[in-house]
Chains A and B, each alone.
Chain A
Amino acid sequence: MAGEKIPPDLIDGVAKGIGDAFDFLQLDAIIYRCTGEHRINGWTNDRLPRWTIARNCIDGAEKQGLIVLFLAYILSSLPPTGTLYVLIASAMPTAKDALPEVKPQVEEVRLGLERTRELLNDPAARSTIEESREILTDVEREISLLDGYKGLHDCLHSLQAKQISLLIASSAKIASDTLQHDAMREYKDQVRTQVQCARDVVDRLPDDATLRSVETKWIDELDTAAMFLQKSLDDRNPNAARIGIIRMSRVLQFQPPRLNDLIVAAAKQLPLQKLSGAMGTLAEIDHSGSSDLANGQAALNRLDQAVRGRVAEHDLWQEIDKQIWVIEQIFGDTVDATDAFMAAWPDLKMPLRTMADFSPEADWAKNVKDYSDRIDTELLRLQAPDAVATGSQRVAPLLDLFANIRSESRLRFFVVDQQLRRDCESLVGIGAPVKSILETLGHG
């Protein structure tokens, strides 16, 4: 893909089309998905006209050999019958199906690794493989980390579906309301299940006491909070239940973003490019006629891009989720949440709309846009002099709209989360042959 360029007679049209359809933040998100970095800041700035920003991005992507991937992400956000789609597809036909998926690459990489293991019997090849021992060790470790952190993230994410403010409200009624009491018990059971799940995942992490200890502490904290909840439910003590929910919520609020950061770091450190280079070197000395190594080498490059793209998308959604937590807190901690919400809302609206704009035809994206517009309108209404309702009655429609947009975005995040989980599971398929190679080398 490196070195490909848009034909000179089409580049202006493509830049203008992209500039019309995508603004700075959207292009930033696209480039972030291509590279895992906010490279747009080195290519252009948000004060320039949109056509110029788009052109600078194209130039930057061309210089760094990313133009095909960049245009592939652009195409994935456009309707295939649109003018811009057709223009880009004619300017860079290879961009049409260039978005790599993790799973198809893993199988080819696995075959390449199998062939590598077979070549360990050849002294010359073994020597070459020996030189790549460090790379293989790093690959095994980072895959293990990626898989482990993703597993821990999943455990918590499944608990996030419930809105904490509603749980706190329920906790106040457990003494008198059996339905609320039972609902709380069910939630407590879910938490305890996930605590156990998390403990299992920690066992899959690399055998590093410090690393495991960090994860074990928050799992213990979650366990303690669940025990608080258990006790409070047994005693029908709303105060204790409240404490349990609050402590639980803190784990759910702060640990997933931290785990996400670790996932991003592990993905960045995953030396797939280096492994690709090593496999290429080995392919040169493999005269058996097998193409497994060459195919594996190419697949590793595509895999690297696919993993970065998926992790970047997950990261973008995690940022959105952080802001949802902030706003949730506002509704609990303020008398009239309007002003505080108004101040915090743009930080949720902008990234959420950016993500929605990438899938303009998707139902969730349409819903997000609709709720976002209605929240703006509601905020405007709340400022009107005749908005006489007070207290919770006053902000009820706003709260309702926020609950809707929160639900849509968390659901979407959940989908992205699941995709990343599946990708990580696929990646583990690479970890096994790598481990096998390392074991053979160790016995050598």
Chain B
Amino acid sequence: MADEINSRFSSLEDLQHAHVELMKALRPTLGSGDTSSVKPTIVEFVERAKNTGACIQDPAERQAAQNILDYWSAETVSVEDISKDWTPDKLLPFDPEAGGKTGPSAERLAARLNARKKIQLAAAARLWKDSGQASGYLLNGSALTEAEKFAQEDRDINDLVLASRTKVGTERRNKWIIVVIVALVAVIAWLLIDRAAEQRKLAQLEAQRSAAIADRAATRSAEQVDSQEVKIKALTQELKSAKLSAPAEITETVPESVVLNQTRARIGAKETSPTTLRGFIWLGSDAAPNLLDNAGQPVKPSAASVGGSYSVTKNLVLRTALPSADYIQSDSAGIVPEQTTIRIVAAPVPYRRPAPAASKAAAPAAAPPPTTVQYWAQIEVRISDQPIVYVEYAAADAASAQTLAQKLKSQGFRVPGVEASELAKGIDEIHFYFAEDKAAAERLSTTVGAALKELQWSGVQAPKVVDLTSQKGPRNFPGVLELWIDLSSAK
């Protein structure tokens, strides 16, 4: 039985397949006039083809099979046969017992399906061309993927696929553009929100730090200095960290004019000339005045005259308004450094306040707490052409800083004070916050450099000028520079 099955093809389709394959294999020999070498192969095929008739019933299929048989049988006929009454090989009659496949193989079915798809796509491609390449015919998704398989086999399909790819690419690109735009908008919005928060935080820290510095300056002689120092250091540290972590662009967008305008608005003072400012300062009490006359003698505030010029004995905070009735102070607008000459423009205003601690100690226990009268007045202060320099230094003792300060004073800088700070360790910088102070900062750098040479402090680095105009806060003021210097090696 097995031999029987092996001696035939199981269907017309199998026979056709074998026929085409054999034709390909024998191509160089067929029709050459010399087929002797392949004759056994042909004879074997003819035998199997003949036997295949047993499993083919349909007359049309039998005719197709007979055609194939004739094609190969013709090759087995020799020249001598011409004279004979030649009868061709015939298919065996159909045998219901022989079995055989009724349908095509899965492979053939797949090939058929593929061919159909190709034809359908070719027709679709032609319709697309005939329509003047209307975009409605273009493919996408799985249809495009399917068509791509046939693109190289048909020019029309290829053109359709290329046009479809272009359209899909454009749509995908547009989609991406929208996604990117949305993402960008979201990021920008987040950055703006974040920037605003950062700005608020920096401004807050700047304000707190400047207030602390100003308060320290205003009460340098008072007992709270130590606690203020701690507070200032902590704030300075926090501010530096905040500035380090804050993106530069956050501060870059703050126009300088706004800061100046804000400052002026806070002061509430009318500029009398481009070189003067008005504000309010604490004049002290008659027992402890903050004013000196031209001869250097203390002047009681109650005796200070409107229009009179005096110099101040302390670094005082310039306020935008008088304190309230319960002595709550207004915003700070700047600093009037010690020895600055002011002109009183309105009569001093008295405030009754608790007496200083020394007075309290001297008072009887049962008596009401002693009080004193503190004076405030609106003043006009000339903006000095001598820059104010705050020296923040790192060193074992203050002597070297004082020496340097003296050198600076001798070169036309006002140095309200020097402050030891661990933050200055390893730093040699001059900070300026207003563009118009750049020249002064550079002059200060040159001056410090020259002083260091003169003092032969070769271990101390000459400070470099750092432009912090983009980071200035509401409590930085024109004409005020910061010198951060490590004087540990000053010898």
Contacts and interface: CB of A to CB of B under 8 A. Distances in A.
B38 interface: no
Given A220-B33, A228-B82, A237-B85, A346 B154 contact: yes
A221 B159 CA distance: 47
Contacts of B159: 23
A211 interface: no
A379 interface: yes
B158 A23 contact: yes
Contacts of B158: 23
Contact of A224 (B23, B68, B71, B79): B79
B31 A253 contact: yes
B153 to A, nearest CB: 5
Given A346-B153, A346-B154, A376-B122, A252 B31 contact: yes
A246 B119 contact: no
A376 B115 CA distance: 11
A339 B32 contact: no
Given A217-B32, A376-B126, A240 B27 contact: no
A343 B85 contact: no
Given A246-B71, A335-B58, A391-B60, A217 B34 contact: yes
B87 interface: yes
Nearest to A47: B152
Given A218-B33, A221-B31, A376-B123, A383 B116 contact: yes
A122 B61 CA distance: 77
Contacts of B122: 376
B398 interface: no
Interface in A63-95: none
A63 B96 CA distance: 69
B67 A346 contact: no
B450 interface: no
Contacts, number: 124
B184 interface: no
Contacts of A246: 70-71, 74
Contact of B119 (A219, A243, A354, A379): A379
Nearest to A225: B74
A60 B123 CA distance: 35
A173 interface: no
Nearest to A373: B126
B270 interface: no
Query: Which of B31, B63, B112, B118 neighbours the largest number of chain A CB atoms within 10 Å of its CB?
Result: B31
B242 to A, nearest CB: 53
A243 B86 contact: yes
Interface in A316-369: 329, 332-335, 339-340, 342-343, 345-346, 349-350, 353-354
A133 interface: no
Contacts of B83: 231
A237 B32 contact: no
Interface string A219-254: 111101001100100010101101100110011111
A177 interface: no
B86 A334 contact: no
Interface size class of A (residues with CB under 8 A): 35 or more
A218 B79 CA distance: 14
Contacts of A377: 123
Contacts of A334: 16, 64
Interface string A384-403: 00000001000000000000
Interface residues of B, number: 49
Nearest to A223: B33
B77 interface: yes
Contact of A254 (B32, B61, B75): B32
Contacts of A339: 112, 115
A24 to B, nearest CB: 8
A242 B71 CA distance: 9
B111 interface: yes
B198 to A, nearest CB: 48
A297 to B, nearest CB: 40
B235 interface: no
A87 to B, nearest CB: 22
A352 to B, nearest CB: 11
Nearest to B63: A335
A376 B119 contact: yes
A131 interface: no
A360 to B, nearest CB: 13
B33 A254 contact: no
Contact of A350 (B33, B85, B112, B154): B154
A209 interface: no
A383 B152 CA distance: 23
B119 A254 contact: no
Contact of B32 (A221, A332, A354): A221
B149 to A, nearest CB: 12
A38 B28 CA distance: 24
Nearest to B157: A346
B152 to A, nearest CB: 6
B360 interface: no
B196 interface: no
A218 B111 CA distance: 36
A16 B64 CA distance: 51
Given A243-B74, A353-B155, A376-B123, A335 B31 contact: no
A247 B119 contact: no
Given A224-B33, A242-B88, 11 more contacts: A25-B155, A218-B31, A227-B82, A252-B31, A333-B71, A335-B12, A335-B63, A342-B115, A346-B118, A346-B153, A353-B155
27 contacts: A23-B159, A50-B162, A216-B33, A217-B34, A220-B33, A221-B32, A224-B79, A231-B82, A239-B87, A240-B82, A240-B86, A243-B70, A243-B74, A246-B70, A251-B33, A252-B31, A254-B31, A255-B31, A335-B64, A339-B112, A342-B118, A343-B115, A354-B155, A376-B119, A383-B116, A383-B119, A391-B60
8 nearest interchain CB pairs?
A221-B33, A217-B33, A250-B31, A254-B31, A342-B115, A246-B74, A251-B31, A218-B33
